[in-house]
Amino acid sequence: QKEVEQDPGPLSVPEGAIVSLNCTYSNSAFQYFMWYRQYSRKGPELLMYTYSSGNKEDGRFTAQVDKSSKYISLFIRDSQPSDSATYLCAMRFAGGTSYGKLTFGQGTILTVHP
């Protein structure tokens, strides 16, 4: 079983749709949760960063963390063609010897068509 499971998609939605992306994880010690966006042939770019459980909103993006269910989500409102990319969830422990090591999901390929 992978530590972090993410549906690879691909996911195709019309412009303006609400997109829901999800990851589940198995290790309850993860404390920091992130969503990265990766355009084709580019490096990942941090979108959202959340510590422990709760919601965080930034413009059209909302990140949710439910530690009791080991489940995190990213919602994109009013999706745009420019949102077309691969979305990677990532998480890490607090402290430890592999400081800052991120464990990534496989990534979900999202296409928003006009």
Partner 1 sequence: DAMVIQNPRYQVTQFGKPVTLSCSQTLNHNVMYWYQQKSSQAPKLLFHYYDKDFNNEADTPDNFQSRRPNTSFCFLDIRSPGLGDAAMYLCATMISPGVTDTQYFGPGTRLTVL
C-alpha–C-alpha distance, residues 89 and 23, integer Å: 7
Residue 98 sits in the site that holds partner 1 (CB under 8 A): yes
Total residues in contact with partner 1, by rule CB under 8 A = 25
Residue 114 sits in the site that holds partner 1 (CB under 8 A): no
| Binding region for partner 1 (CB under 8 A) out of 1-9, 12-20, 54-62, 68-76 | 1-9
C-alpha–C-alpha distance, residues 44 and 109, integer Å: 13
Selected from 25, 30, 44, 87, the binder of partner 1 by CB under 8 A is 44
Residue 33 sits in the site that holds partner 1 (CB under 8 A): no
DSSP 8-class letter at 29: T
- In the three-class reduction of DSSP (H, G, I as helix; E, B as strand; rest coil), residue 75 is classed as strand
Residue 100 sits in the site that holds partner 1 (CB under 8 A): yes
- What are the Cα distances from residue 102, in Å, to 23, 34, 60, 90? 14, 9, 25, 6
Q: Which residues bind partner 1 (CB under 8 A)?
A: 4, 6, 8, 32, 34, 36, 41-46, 49, 88, 97-107
